[in-house]
Amino acid sequence: MDSVVSFAGWMPAGLQNAAETGTSVRAVIFEDDIAIWRGQDGLARAWQNRCPHRGMRLSYGIVRENRLTCLYHGWTYDGTGGCAHIPAHPDLVPPKSIRAKAYGCVETGGMIWVARSESSEPPPQISGTWMPCRTMQVNRSLTGLAEVLGTGKANLALAMGAWAGQLRVAGLQGAVLLAVQPMGARGAMLHACVTGPEDLTRASDWIESLRGHLERPIAA
Amino acid sequence: MSPDDFTASHWYAIGRFADFPEGLSRPLRLLSQDIVAVRQGKDVKVTRADGRPCMVQARYGHVWTTLMDKPRALYDMPEFLEEGRRLVTAGAIGVLCSGLRAVENFLDMAHFPFVHTGILGIEEHPEVEKYDVSMDAERDEIWATKCCFFQPMAAATATGGQITEYKYRVPHPYSTILYKTCPIREGAWDLIGLFIQPTEEDACIAHSFVLVFDESNSDTSLLHFQQNIFLQDRMILENQVPRKLPIDPRWEMPTRADASSIAYRRWLKANGVVWGTAKLAEAA
């Protein structure tokens, strides 16, 4: 398993079911504002969250077939990011230079992973079948999975890099795949997947208690 | 950052007279500065944080102030003197974007079918025909004319779809007025405008008004129409990245329909406007 998941490489950006077919959603990783959308072909794409025309967030866009239409002026981009249609000028063939900026985007371990397009890291490959369980927002800046679990427990995790790992949680039949999506000053998202439906409820309770633990006030 | 000279040299609307009840001090923001406005009899007095007074004038249904001792004159709108028009104000709406973005959005027709769907446009008629943009050098203002667009319900008085003709005027970096063919009076124009109070470089309060020939709609229905439209715009304005207006032409990619936006950005740049704009170095 590849170990580099810092933002030079691949980062968790959400559970697979956060971007359903035909929808576009927003993900923030550090300072990067990203639109993740899924076409009818089932493929998830991750793009810089601004239309090249007037900067509107593409996470508000409309997905039709395998194209994304910006909500502001209807500029429509094909699945690779190229502008295919400008409604204000229906007869115009959009110049090839108009492109949404794409990130690398793969799905593995029940989660969506993104990397900046200039990254040369190979994408993560997480073995086994994982079922999306729950995402929690944590109002605390986090610098990695070790900080989430605490130094004493960090070695419990089978690390998949600084931002994700597999661990055993008391009371669960299978393992939990836990990923941290850092959002800088906005805090972080914690994403959890489980190995089967029998663990969904307990894993959900566990991640809630994890958030409570992380958000406890710390005496100065 | 303190405002550039051009931005600082203007008058700004801070509310309607009725927004300042007798004896109540209202702390306000203008151009990243604290000011306080208080009604005293027939006047509204405005002072800076250090107690120095600001000049004040009442025009176009609003109270205007300026941070300069020698501001440039407030532009004329002779339509406010015409008989038979009604002035309806639609409130002061805070928006988390540069006021320059709000002006630019107001000048834009291409978004009507997508943002004001079923009211100012429909997706089946998205085309923006060529229109004229000119600079009035004497008054230093921008006009966009011969702007034609298919609208299913162009105004509160409209009863069906029609090609509506517009003119747009930008006489001030934070004011813009739309002249729209009046559906009930041949040859007349109805006015709709925004007086923007820029509070910060990337935040503003929009004071909007309509000045129309209309005997059938109540003030409330005109207000609801305008507020409905503006709240649809606000959702866009608060989701444009960055919140300040990029004026470097290499940053955001325009097309022919954006001729008025291009002229507006050029005009701001030519006048040395920096406050409220995004620098290319800030691009992601």
Residue B148: phi and psi, rounded to 5, are: -115, 135
Q: What integer pLDDT is reported at residue A1 of this predicted model?
A: 35
What confidence tens digit (pLDDT) does each residue in B152-209 have?
A: 876 666 667 788 899 999 999 999 999 998 878 888 999 999 999 999 999 999 999 9
- Distance, CA of A32 to CA of A113 (rounded, Å): 14
- The DSSP 8-state label assigned to residue B220 in this structure reads H
Cα angle B171-B174-B179, degrees, rounded to a multiple of 5: 50
Q: What 3-state class would DSSP assign to B77?
A: coil
In terms of Cβ atoms closer than 10 Å to its own Cβ (0-12, 13-18, 19+), residue B77 is middle
A72 and chain B: CB distance < 8 Å anywhere? yes
pLDDT along chain A (220 residues), means of 10: 53 97 97 96 98 98 98 98 98 96 96 91 92 96 84 64 88 95 93 97 96 86
Which run of H or E residues covers position A202?
Answer: helix A200-214
- CATH class, range A11-115: mainly beta
Q: Report the first-to-last Cα separation within chain B, whole angstroms.
A: 21
Q: What integer pLDDT is reported at residue A2 of this predicted model?
A: 35
Q: What integer pLDDT is reported at residue A6 of this predicted model?
A: 40
- CATH class, range B5-66: mainly beta
Evaluate whether B92 touches B234 at the Cβ level (below 8 Å).
no
What confidence tens digit (pLDDT) does each residue in B117-158 have?
A: 999 999 999 999 999 999 998 999 999 999 999 988 766 666
Q: What integer pLDDT is reported at residue B154 of this predicted model?
A: 62
- The DSSP 8-state label assigned to residue A52 in this structure reads T
Spans of all domains in chain B? 5-66, 78-282
- Distance, CA of B45 to CA of B25 (rounded, Å): 10
A55 and chain B: CB distance < 8 Å anywhere? yes
Helices (H), A39-155: 145-149, 151-154
Spans of all domains in chain A? 11-115, 131-214
Q: What integer pLDDT is reported at residue A151 of this predicted model?
A: 62
Query: Residues B227-234: what's their mean pLDDT?
Result: 96
Instruction: Reply yes or no on whether the pLDDT at B237 is more than 80.
Output: yes
Q: What integer pLDDT is reported at residue B156 of this predicted model?
A: 65
> How far lies B271's CA from each of B7, B170, B265, in Å?
9, 14, 10
Q: Which residues of A touch B127 (CB under 8 A)?
A: 87-90
Q: What integer pLDDT is reported at residue A219 of this predicted model?
A: 75
A89 and chain B: CB distance < 8 Å anywhere? yes
Could you tell me which residues are beta bridge partners of residue B30? B33
Confidence of residue B66 (pLDDT cuts 50, 70, 90): very high
What confidence tens digit (pLDDT) does each residue in B44-58 have?
A: 999 999 999 999 999
Q: What 3-state class would DSSP assign to B133?
A: strand
With CA atoms as reference, report the closest residue to B98 among B241, B203, B235.
Answer: B203
CATH architecture assigned to B78-282 = Alpha-Beta Complex (3.90)
ipTM of predicted complex? 0.93
A96 and chain B: CB distance < 8 Å anywhere? no
What confidence tens digit (pLDDT) does each residue in B76-122 have?
A: 999 999 999 999 999 999 999 999 999 999 999 999 999 999 999 99
In terms of Cβ atoms closer than 10 Å to its own Cβ (0-12, 13-18, 19+), residue A220 is exposed
Q: What integer pLDDT is reported at residue A4 of this predicted model?
A: 32
- Distance, CA of A29 to CA of A10 (rounded, Å): 11
How many Cα atoms sit within 13 Å of A171 on the Cβ side? 7
User: Is there a contact between B240 and A55 if contact means CB atoms under 8 Å apart?
Assistant: yes
Query: Residues B53-65: what's their mean pLDDT?
Result: 97
Could you tell me which residues are beta bridge partners of residue A131? A194
At A194, the amino acid letter reads V
Q: What integer pLDDT is reported at residue B283 of this predicted model?
A: 58
By Cβ distance, the residue of A33, A56, A89 closest to B255 is: A89
Q: What integer pLDDT is reported at residue A156 of this predicted model?
A: 59
